[in-house]
Amino acid sequence: MTTVNISNQTKSNEDTTIIVGMSGGVDSSVCAAVLKEQGYNVIGMFMKNWEEEDENGVCQSSKEYADVISVCEKLDIPYYSVDFVKEYRDNVFKYFLEEYEAGFTPNPDILCNREIKFKVFLNKALELGADYLATGHYCQNKVIGGENRLIKGNDPGKDQTYFLYTMKKEKLDNVIFPIGHIPKSEVRILAEKFDLSTKHKKDSTGICFIGERNFKNFLSNYIHIKPGKFETLDGVVVGDHTGSAYYTIGQRKGLGLGGPGAPWFVVGKDTDRNVVIVERGEDHPALFFDELWANEISWVGNELDLPLPLKCKAKIRYRQGDQDCTITEIKDGTLHVEFAQAQRAVALRQSIVFYIDMEGEEVCLGGAMISKAGKSHYEKSLDL
């Protein structure tokens, strides 16, 4: 039996009400199952954020809710659906479009967690009398040093703290992550054990609210993106692009550029001229940076008086391994970070998330939005 430990629980299991945020996937389904098995008063709640049909005329949210109903009826627990379509469009999707129009590559999952799942959704759960909201995120929380801390999930390939760095410790007091301490492979085994209808369901991919569909076609329905030119750092035109918003720093696939020699990679953008800058080779010096600056800082706990310089670890994208770094300064809402090893493809408006060891746990301190990169190794070579 997989045991879920709640460090600040004050009631017996049967008197503790837990609303599980159920998406129709295997992770949240198993969360509900293991909590029910431990004797908690479990309620399933589906969150509807999007109400548009895909190109095949299928409403994804209706399909997902049908899976939620199937699982909840199998577990014999009550279930509800709440509609946050307006909140999602106003607080997540609007920002998503603005960032793309400005030439950046936004990460809506981070904003969705902050504005929807752990704000309006959590508030709704508490209004309905829940003691806790449970989600299927691969992360953990634990009281360390008197504070509820956000901790990495035990499955390194699935840890999702990168998307949750805007969480505040006060909210962690009412949130639990029932599967954060087990690997994904065990989650699948548990789904088989409980014979859940989602046991063989594939993990969702793509943008959270549109599912797996043609992204360019989807985005073109909302913003006007103009074709332009691919240029090298020397200003040589090497091809045509379909819109600078579709490309991100370090990208190789989908450029449509061939010819003899090493593959092409995006090394920069000139949004004023609608130009995407490319060079050959994944190790081109224009892709590597030793430092960056970031603003819109968000700490999980009381990190306002961090002892600087602070040596810690960080990642500048979700799938990246932890990188040794030093936060050298925090001034006027902007922090400066120096890396022990050069970082490849630093993308503006992506998040940098920080980690530190506390009592043997990998604690997520928080993060910030990358606002400026230092000189690339290519630029530094020109200064010599």
pLDDT grade, residue 258 (50/70/90)?
Answer: confident
CA distance 379 to 266: 16
- Name the DSSP letter for residue 242: S
pLDDT of 154 reads 93
Task: Return the half-sphere exposure (C-beta side, CA atoms, 13 A cut-off) of residue 208.
Answer: 20
> Which carries the bigger pLDDT value, residue 204 or residue 24?
24
292-320 pLDDT, tens digit per residue, is: 999 999 999 876 667 899 999 999 999 89
Handedness of CA 296, 352, 252, 106 (dihedral sign): negative
pLDDT of 61 reads 77
Q: Is 73 helix (H, G, I), strand (E, B) or coil?
A: helix
Check: CB of residue 22 under 8 Å from CB of residue 72.
yes
pLDDT of 170 reads 92
355-375 pLDDT, tens digit per residue, is: 999 999 999 999 999 999 999
7-39 pLDDT, tens digit per residue, is: 888 999 999 999 999 999 999 999 999 999 999
CA distance 31 to 148: 21
Q: Which domains does the chain have, with CATH numbers?
A: 14-136+178-193 (3.40.50.620), 225-280 (2.30.30.280), 286-383 (2.40.30.10)
> Which two structure tokens, joined as six digits, stand for 182?
């087990």
Answer whether residue 213 shows pLDDT above 60: yes
Check: CB of residue 370 under 8 Å from CB of residue 349.
yes
pTM of the model: 0.94
126-149 pLDDT, tens digit per residue, is: 999 999 999 999 999 999 988 899
Q: Which residues, at least 6 apart from 4, have a Cβ–Cβ distance to it below 8 Å?
A: 34, 35, 38, 176, 178
How does the average pLDDT of the chain come out, rounded? 91
100-126 pLDDT, tens digit per residue, is: 888 888 888 999 999 999 999 999 999
Say which residue the tokens 């902050």 belong to: 114
Handedness of CA 249, 252, 258, 260 (dihedral sign): positive
Q: Report in angstroms the alpha-carbon separations of 148 from 48, 178, 232, 265.
A: 29, 16, 49, 42
pLDDT grade, residue 325 (50/70/90)?
Answer: very high
Say which residue the tokens 């899976």 belong to: 67
CA distance 134 to 4: 11
Task: Point out which residues pair with 323 in neighbouring strands.
Answer: 314
Handedness of CA 27, 29, 32, 35 (dihedral sign): negative
Torsional class of 279: left (φ above 0), alpha (ψ -120 to 50), beta (otherwise): beta
> Which carries the bigger pLDDT value, residue 184 or residue 219?
184
> Which carries the bigger pLDDT value, residue 211 or residue 21?
21
Mean pLDDT of 76-92: 94
CA distance 169 to 304: 13
Check: CB of residue 297 under 8 Å from CB of residue 165.
no
Check: CB of residue 340 under 8 Å from CB of residue 319.
no
Q: Where are the beta strands (DSSP E) in the chain?
A: 17-22, 41-48, 79-83, 132-134, 139-144, 147-152, 175-176, 228-231, 237-241, 264-270, 275-280, 288-299, 310-315, 323-331, 334-344, 351-358, 361-373
Active-site residues, by number, are 112, 208
Strands 132-134 and 175-176: parallel
pLDDT of 149 reads 94
CB burial string 131-165: b at 16+ within 10 A, e below: bbbbbbbbbbbbebeeebbbbbbbbeebbbbbbbb
CA distance 305 to 154: 29
56-82 pLDDT, tens digit per residue, is: 555 567 889 999 999 999 999 999 999
Amino acid at position 119, single letter: K
Q: Which residues, at least 6 apart from 288, have a Cβ–Cβ distance to it below 8 Å?
A: 342, 343, 344, 376, 377
